[in-house]
Structure 1
Amino acid sequence: MTSVRTALAHRVEPAPFTALVAAGDLACITAFVLLGVTVGHGGGDPGVDPGHVAVTVLPFAVGWAVTSLLAGVYARSTYASAKRAVVRTVPAWVGAALVAQALRATAAVPGGAAVTFFAVSVLVTLALLLPWRVAVSVLAS
């Protein structure tokens, strides 16, 4: 039986660089939420209610934590190629957005689920994540 450590060893490069990449990913996801809060239907200053921002980011961060590991976006081979970074990041983010919508559909997470919000979250966050991930692949090589 394969241990969790062995399974993750092929999907995550254990290095400080990976932590930096993960922080950049989280920054992209948070930027999407901040855009929605300030430009979208929130209409106010996100600094006024950081709890709202955190609660909105959380289901997306949880979704990304799960799907990014499954997709291997933190693997050495992903860092080595811009094309591979894009090919792994797109389905990982679509999956993360689906997880986020599933969480938002529960009573435990406010916000509710909506097909239109799913589509917006996929498109806008990919517009932020993909350039970052391509830049990571360039920096890593």
Structure 2
Amino acid sequence: MTAQPTRMALLDVDRRTLRLFALPDLVAIVAFVIVGEYQHGRLAASAANPRHLLGVLVPFVVGWAIAAPLLRAYSARTNGLRGLVGWTVLAWLAADVVGQALLATGAFSIGFDPVFLVVVAIFGSLFLLIARGVTHAIARR
């Protein structure tokens, strides 16, 4: 008997993994944006003008919604530590690029800045990894 080649679906989404991580991911991205606004002294202004906050948040939520399923951040492969870190960071880097591209259109509160691209890549990854790590640890109990 010959082995069947493994076929990869375009969207490798495991429903259990999606249910486990979707809300913590959203909370992590929102927290990341709020902390960023605070660090730049714009939190009070953002609270007074929620459209500004949404203008910063929406491009990255959209980027994550596109990149995460395509780059296996919600696949069963994220059950192990190595897969969790690798697929999460890879998907976030792609989400960052999508978010920055949306910001570059001028349709949102802020524009593209190469330094912001790097900051978002690093700190967004950290926020997501912390949220997913805590969620994963709780789910294993």
Query: If the TM-score is normalised by the length of the shorter chain, which range does it land in?
Result: 0.7 to 0.9
Consecutive unaligned residues of structure 2, counting only runs of 5 or more, are 1-8
Partners of 1:96 and 1:85 in 2: how far apart? 16
2:38 maps to a residue whose letter is T
TM-score (normalised: structure 2):
0.82
Number of residue pairs aligned between Structure 1 and Structure 2: 132
TM-score (normalised: structure 1):
0.82
> RMSD of aligned C-alpha atoms?
1.9
Task: Please say if residues 92 and 121 of structure 2, whose CA atoms lie closer than 8 Å, have aligned partners that are also in contact.
Answer: yes
Consecutive unaligned residues of structure 1, counting only runs of 5 or more, are 1-5
| Cα offset, 1:18, TM superposition | 2.3
Secondary structure at 2:101's aligned position in 1? helix
What do the CA deviations read for 1:40-93 (whole angstroms, capped 9, x no partner)? 142525432222111210000011011101111111221x20111001011111
| Cα offset, 1:140, TM superposition | 4.1
> % of aligned pairs identical?
32
What do the CA deviations read for 1:85-140 (whole angstroms, capped 9, x no partner)? 00101111111111111110003223110111111111111121112222333344
Partners of 1:45 and 1:103 in 2: how far apart? 22
In structure 2, the residue matched to 1:14 is 15
1:65 aligned to 2:61?
no
The structure with the largest alpha-carbon Rg is 2
2:112 maps to a residue whose letter is A
In structure 2, the residue matched to 1:86 is 85
